[in-house]
Structure 1
Amino acid sequence: MKNKTFGSALLVAGTTIGAGMLAMPLTSAEMGFTYTMALLFLLWILLSYSALLFVEVYQTVQRKDAGIATLAEQYFGMVGRVLATLSLVIFMYAILSAYVTGGGSLLAGVLPFLGEHAAPISIIAFTVILGIFIVISTGAVDGLTRLLFMIKLVAFVLVLTMMLPLVQGENLMAMPLKEFLIISASPVFFTSFGFHVIIPSINNYLDGDIKRLRAAIIGGTALPLVAYILWQMATHGVFPQVKFVEIINNDPTLNGLVDATYHVTGSNLISGSVRLFSTLALVTSFLGVSLSLFDCLDDLLKRINIKAGRLALGVLTFLPPLAFALFYPEGFIAALGYAGQMFTFYGLVLPVGLAWRARKLHPNLPYRVIGGNLTLLIALLLGLLIMNVPFLIEGGYLPKVIG
């Protein structure tokens, strides 16, 4: 008999570990390893807490397979459903835009013979080739994802095996080059712990068992935390901070991360492994989010009695992120920042609001997340701060994470 709790924890971990971790070294280059660790632990606690708030609220629903938009409608009416759905759709469009720009930059790095046309051709090729699998069927995506995920794990282990022995203590002791970078980087890091969209599926899979759901969330988020710590140790510990920042500022894309690896290590094998892992992490994340957005748009159109074919749905899914990437080919970090902004509402502000309403209406729930209403208030304030980080950066109140 298979262990559903363990399987659910792996599902949480698999959904969490994706392309968001690739942006971590880019956005934390000027921040230093110590502050990066502080931000990782803070967001891990914060997002595990918000996920457990969803668990608390799920005690009040009659259908264990109810989606998060249904929870929002139950407690805040149609306005809640619309806001939950909009924030999810915008989040998925924003993160797809990041994946397309990141994938395009990595592909362009191995197609230098295309000259100035390398970037647009790579962006279009990345989107169209992978988009074909989405349009064909979910089965085609499943088969490709299984294969690539296994190769990705091997590539990640290979990268760590080669880079961790090169770590230097003095590099890990580097301090922030600018004040408040830990706040500026928070939206991008926030997306790296984003698994909340699958909580309804796991709740249904575990038959609404609160104890098993809690264990799956805590265990499933601990695995990515360990992976992120090792990844950050490998990059921060190998790259001298000033040199790394200089390279990244010249090329603020994932290709810049690969170039920095080669400049510092002088090894084509190590930089090639980083490129392979980065590409596979992008592709597997891209396929998962694309399929979710594809199905979400299909469901939304059906609600207004519009039947769209798979090709039309594919165009609706991929045209906006493709346009963003073509007009802003270096927008990987910016797109992740705005994705983090939307996900902050969906993954933090919304569950805080739902838990507050549920506690008012159901004061004697068997399970209640530790901390009481004061912790809800603190989480809400942190969520509102993270949501407004891009605006504070644009207004000059916070430093840019790159540049």
Structure 2
Amino acid sequence: MTTVTTATTTKQPSLVGGACIIASVCVGAGMLGLPSAGAGAWTVWSVLAIALTMAVMTVSGWLLLEAFKLYDLNVSFNTVTSDLLGEKVNAFNNLTVYFVGGILLYAYTTSFGLILQGSLGLESKTASVLFVFIASSVVWHSTRAVDRISVVLICTMLLSFVFGVFGLTVHVDFSLLMDVANQQGEYAKYAMALLPIALTSFGYHHSVASMRAYYGEERKAKYAILGGTSIALFLYVIWLVSIFGHLSRDSFGPVIEQGGNVDVLLGVLGTVVASDKVSQAINIFSVSAILSSFIGVGLGVFDYIADLFHFDNRSKSGRTKTWAATFMPPLVLSLLFPFGFILAIGYAGAAATVWTCIIPALLVLKARQRKGAEQGFVVAGGKLIPYAVLLFGVATAVFHFLTMLDILPVFKG
């Protein structure tokens, strides 16, 4: 075990900058799954579910910071897990990281293919192939290319989100938002099925080590994480209010029947939005969100695969091998088994509980047994907090599989 190094710079980065980094990691195409996944729970219970998830996921990131404090600033998630929990646990953790990345690429590929099918008139599978080859070429080219494209996409997302959502929020129908027409409706029992999708929407934990190194300490990284997850929660609530304030609860039936696919949701939303410009802004936001998430997740999986198989990332042949291992399996699965968007995101959420909740809790419990663990950054609450995070992660994964087995109630519109 190595000792902690200290930052050498006299002026640290701003908390606003770090919070924006965390928020940009959280907010992506997973946001597009929240309305369909929350249709059963509707407004109040959906907001409560994502608020609870935000709180737990924020604390779980803090638990990682506490475990990381015993190591150098350049330490990785992989290194700490291997040292504290052993190689077998680390291998399983890495497998879930790859699975989540792969299933997200699969979901984005399928969704974008369906959107292109509607806008360009292409067959969805052909559109998916074109999308993967064009978008993944940015990742194959270089990280710098991803950086430049991401800046453009984020700016596009912000502008289209502000214009589109503002156009929706000023015309929210309160009776729809509160589901006034359905006085005997049941909502709370559907909130459990929303948790895996909500958890995926706050998955920033692979960036915790980067935040710690960014600030050179744990405390500022803690507040940056809190700021980032708070921004994400704020945007999610606005988005849900805008959608639920325009679509009746029953109108989600066709969307859910099609697996919550984004193209179906956008099509239904387009029928009730009076302004064509607002509708176009929402569509642009959705396309930008999926493309941005695909490239961002793709880069992470790309680097993971290159490190795992020791491919040469400096040569064209090495990068081509990495590209094939990264993007071809999700594309093939998308062509053979075009599951719904919500189903795929749900599986990703169930697997993500391992490295966003379970592993952070186990890491900090183990780290607190080390000498010097009581000094420096410590998450308040004693053992209660890590055990609560662990329980939330296990419960979320269980809820997902119980929903898949039709043991938990599933809203079908």
TM range (shorter): over 0.9
Q: Which runs of 5+ in 1 are unaligned?
A: none
* 280, 294, 303: which one aligns with 1:295: 303
Number of the residue aligned with 2:60: 50
* 331, 336, 349: which one aligns with 1:327: 336
Q: How many pairs are equivalent? A: 396
Number of the residue aligned with 1:162: 167
1:117-156 residue CA offsets vs partner (Å, 9 max, x unmatched): x111111111111011111111211111111111111000
Distance in 1 (alpha carbons) for counterparts of 2:249 and 2:328: 37
Question: Taking structure 1 as reference, are residues 250 and 221 closer, same or farther at Cα in structure 2, changes over 3 Å only?
Answer: closer
**TM-score, normalising length from structure 2?**
0.91
* 254, 261, 264: which one aligns with 1:256: 264
Local SS of the residue matching 1:238: coil
Local SS of the residue matching 2:401: helix
Number of the residue aligned with 1:138: 143
2:387 is matched by which residue type in structure 1? L
Structure number with higher helix proportion? 1
Local SS of the residue matching 1:397: coil
How far the C-alpha of 1:198 sits from its partner, in A, is 0.8
Number of the residue aligned with 1:85: 94
Number of the residue aligned with 1:391: 401
2:163 is matched by which residue type in structure 1? L
Number of the residue aligned with 2:5: none
**TM-score, normalising length from structure 1?**
0.93
* 186, 191, 211: which one aligns with 2:219: 211
How far the C-alpha of 1:320 sits from its partner, in A, is 1.2
Q: Is the 8 A contact 2:259 2:341 kept in 1?
A: no
* 20, 24, 28: which one aligns with 2:34: 24
Question: Taking structure 1 as reference, are residues 401 and 367 closer, same or farther at Cα in structure 2, changes over 3 Å only?
Answer: farther
Distance in 2 (alpha carbons) for counterparts of 1:58 and 1:252: 38
Number of the residue aligned with 1:6: 16
Q: Is the 8 A contact 2:193 2:399 kept in 1?
A: yes
Number of the residue aligned with 1:265: 273
Distance in 1 (alpha carbons) for counterparts of 2:385 and 2:49: 18
Bigger mean CA offset, 220-229 vs 324-333: 324-333
* 91, 96, 103: which one aligns with 1:94: 103
Mapping of residues 171-320 of structure 1, within 5 Å: 171-174=176-179, 177=186, 180-207=189-216, 209-249=217-257, 252-302=260-310, 309-320=318-329
Question: Taking structure 1 as reference, are residues 295 and 401 closer, same or farther at Cα in structure 2, changes over 3 Å only?
Answer: farther
Distance in 1 (alpha carbons) for counterparts of 2:277 and 2:112: 20
1:51-90 residue CA offsets vs partner (Å, 9 max, x unmatched): 00011111211x2111111111111121232122111111
Distance in 2 (alpha carbons) for counterparts of 1:251 and 1:309: 37
Question: Which runs of 4 or more aligned residues in structure 1 lie more than 4 Å from their structure 2 counterparts after TM superposition?
Answer: 175-179
Local SS of the residue matching 2:41: coil
Local SS of the residue matching 1:283: helix
Q: Is the 8 A contact 1:102 1:332 kept in 2?
A: yes
Q: Is the 8 A contact 1:178 1:399 kept in 2?
A: no
Distance in 2 (alpha carbons) for counterparts of 1:98 and 1:166: 31
Distance in 2 (alpha carbons) for counterparts of 1:13 and 1:367: 23
Q: Which runs of 5+ in 2 are unaligned?
A: 1-10
How far the C-alpha of 1:366 sits from its partner, in A, is 2.5
Local SS of the residue matching 1:109: helix
What's the C-alpha RMSD, in Å, of the aligned pairs? 2.1
How far the C-alpha of 1:251 sits from its partner, in A, is 6.7
Question: Taking structure 1 as reference, are residues 71 and 250 closer, same or farther at Cα in structure 2, changes over 3 Å only?
Answer: closer
